[in-house]
Structure 1
Amino acid sequence: MNGAISGRTAAEVADSVRALLERGALAPGDTLPPVRALAERLGINRNTAIAAYRQLAQAGLVVALGRGGTRVVGRPGIAQEGYGGDGALRDVGSGNPDPRLIPDPSAALAGVAGRPVLYGEPVIDPGLEAWATGWMAPDLAPADRMALTVTSGAVDAVERLLAQALVRDDAVALEDPCFLASIHTARLGGYRAVPVPVDAEGMTVDGLRAALADGVRAVVCTPRGQNPTGAALTGRRAAELRAVLRDHPYVLVVEDDHFSMLSQRPFHSLIGPDHRRWALVRSVSKFLGPDMCLAVAASDPETAERLAMRLSPGTTWVSHLLQRLVHALVTDEEVVSAISRAGAHYAERNSAFVARLARHGIAASPGDGLSLWAELPVAARPVSEHLARRGWLARTGDEFRLADTGAPSPHLRVTVHDLDDDGAESLAADLEAAVAAVRAGDR
């Protein structure tokens, strides 16, 4: 195996290992050569070999086991958002909005066609641009430097923002626990994800300070409706984070305010008035439906210009028909009222379920978002297995963690807003029984 790996640079060595995996010459469980031995055989610097192994680890293809060496784990299956694959179980881990609360676009569709849009025209439809300016500018201290871009959803925006600012092996600060799509983005981009702990007030100050000391070139933060915890930045915490970032004005700060119009919490930004590289991203998917793949990114002009290179007219712009449809919906008073009612409904159902869990001896926080974060007195994974036997499919906190603490997560993320009272009581009772079974050692 030592003789089969080749290359002079870290990227070439890593690509060589990938090729061996693809051809079946390497398999999960195989151990790679020690760094020193590989470096000596290839005639490269030891740090080059270390960097190659780090790239492979970031891609999830190998794991470093200390004295046990570096072992191949194959391409891992990463958890996906949305419905689970087993239709026999009632899915309370999907994180989906209630389809009954998504506005019907039928009436608006008839009036959005307009004239055809041709190659070379502006990528943002004028009506949407005017509305989005009013949506974004009041929440940005550096609004006088704001430029708008439209992307195919929030995940697309974050991916493009990181791609124009980072190169492979750059470090990016992500919340921990983390939105699953952010884990995907970091892994596929080859970035080094630096975990920043999250508490009830959002991203922690000490965590951000440590990440900046570790050399991160970008920070991705969810100011409210944090997935999976439901945390929202408080005014005090946002001010503390801005103070930490003041000495790092060229670190790209991306705020993913995906829950925006549904949120029951005020918006607080960690983008200071003098910060140089920043973007605020707001999508419409949570309140107009996941299939409405559109997000608005407000950013500094340099970042917007770099984004524009990746969203050129004629190849990768967002359909003007979709932009006009979104504009028609978000400027309809009845639709806006329906969105407001939906946000209140999600908050009320989550709060009611938290109170129900408390009566069953389980702690949880309603937070802000479509799901809630339950903290169990035992490991969550065996509890989820017991719930599956009782007909429920839930997500454990292990799927959302970046830092490997060596201990199983005690958290469950559950989506309960579409359960009626009987269903909510049944889930709470089954959850209490599952916790009791795990405590009793009944695996």
Structure 2
Amino acid sequence: MDVTIDGRTAGDIAASVRALVDGGALAPGDPLPPVRTLAAQLGVNRNTVVAAYRQLAQAGAVVTRGRAGTRVAGADHLPEEGFARDTVLRDVGSGNPDPRLLPDPAAVRVPPAAPVLYGQSTLDPALATWATDHVTADCPRELRVSVTGGAVDGVERLLATTLAPGDLVALEDPCYLTSISTVRRAGYLPVPVTVDAEGMTVDGLRAALTAGARAVVCTPRAHNPTGASLSERRAAALRRVLAPHPNVLVVEDDHFSLLSRSPYRSVVGPRHARWAVVRSVSKFLGPDLRLAYVASDPETAERLAARLGPGTTWVSHLLQRTAAALLTDPATHDLLARARDRYAHRNAAFVDLLASRALAATAPDGLNVWVALPAPSSDVTARLMRRGWLARDGADFALERRVPRAPHLRLTVHDLDDDDAVRLADDLAAATRPAGRPSR
């Protein structure tokens, strides 16, 4: 590194780095000196440099990668959920719900209410009552309900109540795409915890806690991308692993709650101090409603409330009242029942189509099918593109890209008609065959 960072205080050192970035002397991706090295060069305590790097990470100017060091932040093109932009291909990797199975907000009567002003409660009473009753049925303990602008917003704010840049977070591997970007862009360090057919693994969680993870993000059911849900045996084992760590924040992202065919099984024990359950309405009321309800222990709720101030960033009461009206409407629950059956039936039918073509796939719960491949996933996705399909490479969900793992695709097929499903299954079978081998 041929540039000079100077300063005696954390603020001065951070300002020096930012000036070098602004002036072009440091470019995105360039490494910063190790903490000990820079502290020795400047003649300051290493904690001063740690504080400077923390300020830079909080400002989004640098990214901390643990043993890989600290680098100047750039345009971080992490994979994202949703439809691909500007493609003529049939997108079967979006992870979206079927819009035909989402209720129409205009079809319900939203009760009139007085305007909500600065300083008033951030919670709509009707939604708070419904959410409290709904979560208490699964979490019979003292809790408080908050409302955030969707699950991503909720998880991001919850982690920020506890963590500082550089702190370790236990994440499932493979991992939901947005959780990966949330953790990395905040400057936290993800610790992979392997997921199998019963959910987050015991050995993986134990290793993450031993490494010093200060927070855990877990999907209790309909894990994205694999569809796995925690078994009671696995949930109990995870509770035992967490018992000696009551102050580790455990966030359960129960994104598929009202659509799930699996029971809710929590990893949070009765004496665990810091916990939260996040339930978004995106999968069953629509992503554009931008709302999730969060149940948590009182201390976590207080910390979260400080980040949802009644003068700044609360969730619109108009949205909250709309959500409450939909969630208490019998027609919505009829539609949810149809959606639950539709997703399960279409996914299971596609798994059977692949099985008849000697391809293994699972879809135990959720919106997607997780397909095991006999060939590299990048090769298969490229071959599918030539046949008109845009699939989601399973490697996108890996926390550790450098670790070889079994190749997979995640496919969203519930909106395909029968003919298109057969065509996709045929094309996928052809795309996985070695070159030169004819079809049967």
The answer to whether TM tops 0.5 is yes
Q: 1:362 and 1:233 mapped to 2: Cα distance?
A: 25
TM-score, structure 1 length as denominator?
0.89
Structure 1 residues 249, 379: CA separation in 2 closer, same or farther (over 3 Å shift)?
same
1:16 to partner: Cα distance: 4.9
Does the 8 A contact of 1:172 with 1:218 survive in 2? Answer: yes
**Count of paired positions:** 434
Task: Show the 5 A alignment for 1:221-370.
Answer: 221-370=218-367
Q: Which residue of 2 aligns with 1:171?
A: 168
Structure 1 residue 159 corresponds to structure 2 residue 156: yes
* Counterpart residue type for residue 148 of structure 1: V
Structure 1 residues 200, 119: CA separation in 2 closer, same or farther (over 3 Å shift)?
same
Name the SS for the 2:137 alignment partner.
Answer: helix
Structure 1 residue 122 corresponds to structure 2 residue 121: yes
Q: Deviations over 1:201-249 (max 9, x none)?
A: 1110000001110111111101011111111111110000001111111
Structure 1 residues 408, 103: CA separation in 2 closer, same or farther (over 3 Å shift)?
same
1:421 to partner: Cα distance: 0.9
Does the 8 A contact of 1:61 with 1:75 survive in 2? Answer: no
* Counterpart residue type for residue 326 of structure 1: A
Structure 1 residues 222, 63: CA separation in 2 closer, same or farther (over 3 Å shift)?
closer
Task: Show the 5 A alignment for 1:85-100.
Answer: 85-100=85-100
Q: Deviations over 1:88-127 (max 9, x none)?
A: 011111000000100112121x433332222322221111
Does the 8 A contact of 1:374 with 1:414 survive in 2? Answer: yes
Q: Which residue of 2 aligns with 1:422?
A: 419
Q: 1:137 and 1:249 mapped to 2: Cα distance?
A: 21
Name the SS for the 2:346 alignment partner.
Answer: helix
Task: Show the 5 A alignment for 1:43-58.
Answer: 43-44=43-44
Q: Which residue of 2 aligns with 1:6?
A: 6
Q: Which residue of 1 aligns with 2:197?
A: 200
Q: Deviations over 1:156-196 (max 9, x none)?
A: 11111111111121111111111111112112221111111
Identity of aligned residues (%): 59
* Counterpart residue type for residue 92 of structure 1: V
Q: 2:73 and 2:435 mapped to 1: Cα distance?
A: 29
Q: Deviations over 1:332-356 (max 9, x none)?
A: 1121111111011111111111111
Structure 1 residues 293, 35: CA separation in 2 closer, same or farther (over 3 Å shift)?
closer
Q: Deviations over 1:373-415 (max 9, x none)?
A: 1110111011101111111111112211112444365111110
* Counterpart residue type for residue 25 of structure 2: A
Name the SS for the 1:6 alignment partner.
Answer: coil
The correspondence for 1:377, drawn from 366, 374, 379, is 374
The correspondence for 1:189, drawn from 183, 186, 207, is 186
Structure 1 residue 42 corresponds to structure 2 residue 39: no
* Counterpart residue type for residue 43 of structure 1: G
Structure 1 residues 59, 339: CA separation in 2 closer, same or farther (over 3 Å shift)?
farther
Q: 1:107 and 1:211 mapped to 2: Cα distance?
A: 47
The correspondence for 1:386, drawn from 370, 383, 386, is 383
Structure 1 residues 336, 36: CA separation in 2 closer, same or farther (over 3 Å shift)?
closer
What is the root-mean-square deviation of aligned Cα atoms in Å? 2.8
Q: Deviations over 1:287-320 (max 9, x none)?
A: 0000011111111111111111111223211111
Name the SS for the 1:386 alignment partner.
Answer: helix
1:27 to partner: Cα distance: 3.9
Q: 2:180 and 2:349 mapped to 1: Cα distance?
A: 31
Q: 1:288 and 1:277 mapped to 2: Cα distance?
A: 29
Q: 2:406 and 2:15 mapped to 1: Cα distance?
A: 34
1:81 to partner: Cα distance: 0.8
Q: 1:50 and 1:439 mapped to 2: Cα distance?
A: 57
Q: Deviations over 1:250-275 (max 9, x none)?
A: 11111010100011111101111111
TM-score, structure 2 length as denominator?
0.90
Structure 1 residues 407, 319: CA separation in 2 closer, same or farther (over 3 Å shift)?
same
Name the SS for the 2:77 alignment partner.
Answer: coil
* Counterpart residue type for residue 115 of structure 2: P
Q: Which residue of 1 aligns with 2:110?
A: 111
Q: 1:101 and 1:370 mapped to 2: Cα distance?
A: 12
Structure 1 residue 79 corresponds to structure 2 residue 72: no
Q: 1:18 and 1:357 mapped to 2: Cα distance?
A: 53
* Counterpart residue type for residue 186 of structure 1: V
Moved more, 356-365 or 401-410: 401-410
Does the 8 A contact of 1:113 with 1:321 survive in 2? Answer: no
1:6 to partner: Cα distance: 3.4
Q: 2:270 and 2:162 mapped to 1: Cα distance?
A: 20
Q: Deviations over 1:42-76 (max 9, x none)?
A: 335679879988987x988587998xx99878433
* Counterpart residue type for residue 153 of structure 2: D
Does the 8 A contact of 1:59 with 1:188 survive in 2? Answer: no
Structure 1 residues 324, 36: CA separation in 2 closer, same or farther (over 3 Å shift)?
closer
Structure 2: gaps (5+ residues): none
Name the SS for the 2:217 alignment partner.
Answer: strand
Q: Which residue of 1 aligns with 2:134?
A: 135
Does the 8 A contact of 1:147 with 1:300 survive in 2? Answer: yes
Task: Show the 5 A alignment for 1:397-412.
Answer: 397-407=394-404, 410-412=407-409
Structure 1 residue 432 corresponds to structure 2 residue 429: yes
Name the SS for the 1:165 alignment partner.
Answer: coil
Structure 1: gaps (5+ residues): none
